[in-house]
């Protein structure tokens, strides 16, 4: 929450596009003087204090696709145009308390089933807080994290973090969440999945550390760079 307070630190990473879960409505984004302002913002949510924000700091522009199904809260299919490459971005904050049986990764599982026709092995990225990891798979539940990873892999879409840093799902060495900001409660819940054409141009993946980010947030940023 309170992206307006964290923006100066995030912007030190020189992002082109940011996906920010638990983001306040743009009307509340009153940045400090001198803070670099986004060139485009897309926001979605029912609570103006905590929604899903997507920010451009370059030429990229966002438009919600007509196929968007608001039942999947919040998995947003966006057309990204005007930058180096036009592509489809699924901005994700897997959190829907109203869907009790599919609150977290179940939202992503249902969404990728619904958006099957536009999930392709080219010009596609899914990024954000999936609120999930293989360690919480339930063998008798079809909509678990491993199922999501497998469905995307069948479409030629892979986790940039796992590909670039040779990580095994469920045994990630770099946490993206420290529960209650406690260093002894680490989890990897945030991901950037990319289609095969982006994977071929993958240059760098980095996860922020507890030391650098715990005083700002319980999450650390996942940064992905493509050589486009």
More confident call, 34 vs 88:
88
Average pLDDT over residues 170-175: 98
What per-residue confidence (pLDDT) applies to 1? 61
For residue 84, name the pLDDT band (cuts at 50, 70, 90): very high
What per-residue confidence (pLDDT) applies to 192? 98
What per-residue confidence (pLDDT) applies to 218? 95
E strand or H helix that includes residue 26: none
Closest by CA to 41, choosing from 49, 58, 32, 50, is 58
- Return d(Cα 187, Cα 105) in angstroms, integer: 15
- Model confidence at 154: pLDDT above 80: yes
Domains and CATH numbers, the chain: 3-222 (3.60.10.10)
For residue 103, name the pLDDT band (cuts at 50, 70, 90): confident
The verdict on pTM exceeding 0.85 is: yes
- Model confidence at 104: pLDDT above 90: no
What per-residue confidence (pLDDT) applies to 97? 76
What token pair was written down for 225?
């760079």
% of the chain exceeding 70 in pLDDT: 100
What per-residue confidence (pLDDT) applies to 101? 76
Is 161 within 8 Å of 192 (Cβ atoms)?
Answer: yes
127-140 pLDDT tens trace: 999 999 999 998 78
- Return d(Cα 163, Cα 129) in angstroms, integer: 18
Given phi > 0 = left and psi -120 to 50 = alpha, else beta, which region is 7?
A: alpha
- Model confidence at 62: pLDDT above 70: yes
């Amino acid at each position: 929450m309170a992206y307006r307070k964290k923006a100066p630190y995030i912007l030190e990473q020189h992002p082109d596009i940011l996906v920010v879960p638990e983001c306040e409505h743009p009307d509340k984004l009153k940045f400090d003087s001198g803070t670099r302002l986004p060139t485009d913002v897309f926001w979605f949510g029912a609570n103006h204090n905590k929604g899903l924000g997507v920010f451009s700091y370059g030429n990229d522009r966002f438009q919600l696709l007509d196929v968007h199904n608001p039942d999947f809260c919040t998995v947003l299919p966006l057309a990204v145009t005007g930058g180096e490459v036009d592509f489809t971005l699924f901005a994700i904050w897997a959190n829907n308390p109203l869907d009790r049986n599919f609150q977290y990764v179940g939202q992503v599982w249902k969404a990728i089933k619904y958006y099957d026709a536009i999930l392709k092995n080219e010009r596609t990225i899914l990024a954000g807080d999936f609120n999930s990891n293989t360690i919480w798979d339930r063998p008798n539940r079809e909509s678990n994290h491993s199922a999501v990873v497998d469905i995307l892999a069948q479409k030629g879409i892979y986790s940039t973090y796992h590909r670039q840093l040779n990580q095994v799902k469920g045994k990630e060495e770099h946490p993206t969440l420290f529960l209650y900001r406690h260093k002894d409660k680490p989890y990897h819940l945030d991901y950037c999945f990319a289609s095969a054409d982006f994977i071929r141009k993958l240059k760098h993946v980095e996860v922020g550390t507890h030391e650098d980010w715990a005083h700002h947030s319980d999450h650390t940023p996942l940064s992905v760079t493509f050589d486009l």
